[in-house]
Amino acid sequence: MCSIVEDDFGDEGGAHAMKEDTPQPELGGNELCRKCNTEQAVLKLNQKEPQCRVCFLNYVRHKFRASLGSTKIVRRGSRVLIILTGEPANVTLLDMVRFGLEQDAFKQLRIVPVLLYVDDDFVGNTPEARLRQLAERLQVFKQFESFPAYYTVCGSSRHVALTFDGAFSPAGFEQDEARLLQVLDAVRSVSSKQDLLEQVRKQTYRQIGHALQCAYVFLSDIGVDLAKTLLSNVALGRGCSLAQDVAFCDDRDDTVKLVRPIRDLNPDEVSNYLQYSEQPLLSYSPAKHFEDKPSLQNLTAKFIDNLMQSFPSTVSTVYRTGDKLDAPKAARNGPTVGDGTSERQDESEDFLALFDRTLTLDDRPSGECCRFCGAALDYRGSKTLFATEYSRLVSSRINAACSHEDILLKSKQMELDAERAVNGEDDQGEERVLMKQLCHGCRNIFEDLN
C-alpha cells in the first residue's frame, strides 16, 4: 500500500511532488550533430541530442512513416483523403506525404492522396472576413497544388473541385451554411456549440470521403491536440468514444476510417520542421471558433497549454492514457455484405436533419451505435447516469415540508423515473425514439437546444 498520507503534502497539496522540467542546456556555437558526427548541429530538442538539419528531418519523417508502417492499417495503393487546414501541423503532414511520394521505389509512400478543405469560416464571420481568410488559406494550399483538391462546407454532402488560380469562390453552398448556422444559434451553451461543430465536421469528413471513394482520412492532430480532446471529452460525457477520439485510427465507421499519422509529434518538432525543411513552407494559424468565450473545451485547452510550458513531458502522458482505454465496437444496423461487415446505413443520410425534424426515425433495437456520432450507445444500465438523474429528481421533488412517509413513497417513484430517463423512455413520441438512439454526449447537445 502507498505510505504517503495527506499530512505529507501540507497546505500546498501535491504541488511540490510535481517538479518542473529542467531547462536543457543551449546549443553550443560549433557543436557537431551527435547523429552523423559530420555536420554542424542547428537545433537541440528537449531531452534530445544536438542534431543537424538533415538528421532532424529524417528523425521527424521517420516518426510519420513508422506510425503508418507499424500499425499496417493503411493499405498500399489506397486513396487517402487529407484534410486541409493550413495550420503548421497540417502543412507538416502534407510536406511529409509529398516527400514520401518523391522517394525511390523502395522508400516510396504508396498511397493516392486527395485533398479536401472543409470551410467553416462562415460561422461567426462577416462575408468580407471570410473571403479574406479563404484567400490567405489558398496561398498556403497552393504549395501542394500538384495534388487533386476539393472544397466543401461544414455540414454539406456536396463537394466541388478546388482551384488555386485566385478565381475560386465559395458559392453554391448557401443553403447548407444557413442550416448549420440555424442549428448553432439554437444551441444555448458554448460547450455544446463547439462539440456540435466538431461532430458535424467529422461527419462531413466521412461523407465526402465516401463520395470520393477514399477509405482513409488523414487528420493532422498532434499530441497536444489529442490531450485537449481527451480531457474535454471526459468533461463532455463522451467516455464511450474516448479511446477512438485520440487513437491512431478511429474505425467506428468501417467504410471510412479517420487516421492520425503525426500524433506522436509535438509543437516544437512541428515548428522546427517548417523552419528547416528543404523549401520554405507557409502556414496559417487563424483563431478558432468561440475561442474567446467560456466553455469546457476552452478551459481545458488553456490548462493543457499552461501544462505544456512547465511540464511538456506530462502532456504526452495525458493523451497516451487513451491508448490504454477500451473502445467498445458498436454493432451497426443493417444487412451485412459478403465479408461479414455491415453496409453503410444510408450513403446520403442528412445528419443535420436530426435537428430540424425532417429525418424519419425508426425505433431501432438497443445495443447499436449513436445515430449522430457513431459511438457505441452507453446509457443502458449506466449506474453513473442513474445516480446523476436520481440526484436531480431528489433536488426537484423533495423539500423540508415532506414527511417521512412521503419521502419513502416518492423515492420508489423517483427510482423508476430516473431509470426511464436514463434509458430514454420518459418522453413520448418522436423525442423518446430519438433519445434512445443517441449516446450520452450527443444527448447533452440535443437537451441544450432551445
What is the sign of the dihedral through the CA atoms of 220, 221, 222 and 225?
positive
Name the E strands within 222-315. 249-250, 257-259
Query: Is pLDDT larger for residue 292 or for residue 10?
Result: 292
Per-residue pLDDT tens over the stretch 310-329: 888 888 888 888 888 876 66
Render 9-78 in DSSP notation, one character per residue: TGGGTTGGGSPPPPPPPPPPTTPBPTTTSSSBP-B--TTS--B-HHHHHHHHHHHHHHHHHHH--SPTTE
Four-way CATH pick for 73-260+279-323: 3.40.640.10, 3.40.50.620, 2.40.50.140, 3.40.50.300: 3.40.50.620
Whose CA is closest to 318, among 194, 412, 231, 234?
Answer: 231
The residue written with cell numbers 501544462 in the block is: 307
* Residue 291, H or E segment: none
Average confidence (pLDDT) over 215-228: 95
Which residues partner with 217 through β-bridges?
81, 258
List b or e across 100-117, with b for residues whose CB sees 16 or more CB atoms inside 10 angstroms: beeeeeeeebebebbbbb
pTM: 0.85
Task: Count other C-beta atoms under 10 Å from residue 163's C-beta.
Answer: 14
Per-residue pLDDT tens over the stretch 327-379: 666 655 443 333 444 444 444 456 677 766 555 555 554 457 888 888 888 77
User: What is the rounded average pLDDT for all residues in the chain?
Assistant: 82
Residues of the chain with CATH 3.40.50.620: 73-260+279-323
Query: Is pLDDT larger for residue 18 or for residue 70?
Result: 70
Whose CA is closest to 258, among 143, 374, 169?
Answer: 374
Query: Is pLDDT larger for residue 123 or for residue 419?
Result: 123
Average confidence (pLDDT) over 290-310: 91
